[in-house]
Structure 1
């Protein structure tokens, strides 16, 4: 019953995901949060001078850029850390791309073409970023909602058993799942007994 062993192998925190991707996502989230914090401090404290920016407009532009990059970075980190579908990942990536378009427009527009002048770009910039952030947030929300549903303690865990090319499924409670996983990982000679127990409960 190779598939049963595979289901319980490895670190359960990653649930079949690449640990490097999970750690990279967590690091991206930390960097995104740090960028937002630095953006706020750059316009509210003397931190901007430490960063080599003494002009107020330049400090605001730096803050807008850092904050604009930090938010989609945190969105990306969520779908990297949590189990998420290709659709959810693609949605967040697309939203992030629109955010980057908004940031690029901001770089061109601020401050001289922001709200003053013959060709202002504040509306276009804001809409590009708003649409991107809204799209990314929606797919982050769906990823978090589906993750919560899969880990609902009141739900059931569905296992697929494969033997000699024939697949069967069985539903077990979270408590039973944890008991089976602990027994198999401990390698205490209970694997065959667990397999027989699950096969007796398997659905045809």
Structure 2
């Protein structure tokens, strides 16, 4: 009796099991890669990497506003101000990035400036919104875990501007406080910013 042997049925590999390329990793937290928000669209061929890495116009404007304030008063003989998502290497399980990092030059010495992530803590970190895809962590969980890591690394103050909730969270080792973004908030050395007032002055309405 002849036996007909057909081709074995091939089970398609689900997208969730496909290896995600390293270039889609935004940060590493507790040894786990965190991917850019929208990485699934890149995997599916719907978007390019450049499309998901870019900031929204609101996010970019607020980073520019805060950077302008900083550069108006900062002592550039004492501090370095790093923008454009400077990376921070905390340890072999944590590589994070920030929107703005203010570094004391006594800690980030000229000799430590290189093509690699910095491995010393900024004095102040500023973050505007979240750029990663939230999977296992909630947004709140991610914010608090990253904040705790940075404070433990030696950062003195972390400022989060969250446009969806229209709030500013200020974290130090002593406290974590959340304010309406319509309030004046100290950045450093008595210098303040007010997100709500800035947007109102520019005629920008955020819904």
Structures share a fold, TM > 0.5? no
Q: Where is the strand percentage greater, Structure 1 or Structure 2?
A: 2
If the length of structure 2 is used for normalisation, what is the TM-score?
0.22
Q: Which structure would you say has the larger RCO, counting Cα contacts within 8 Å and 6 or more residues apart?
A: 1
If the length of structure 1 is used for normalisation, what is the TM-score?
0.22
Return the index of the structure with the highest Cα Rg: 1
Q: Where is the helix percentage greater, Structure 1 or Structure 2?
A: 1
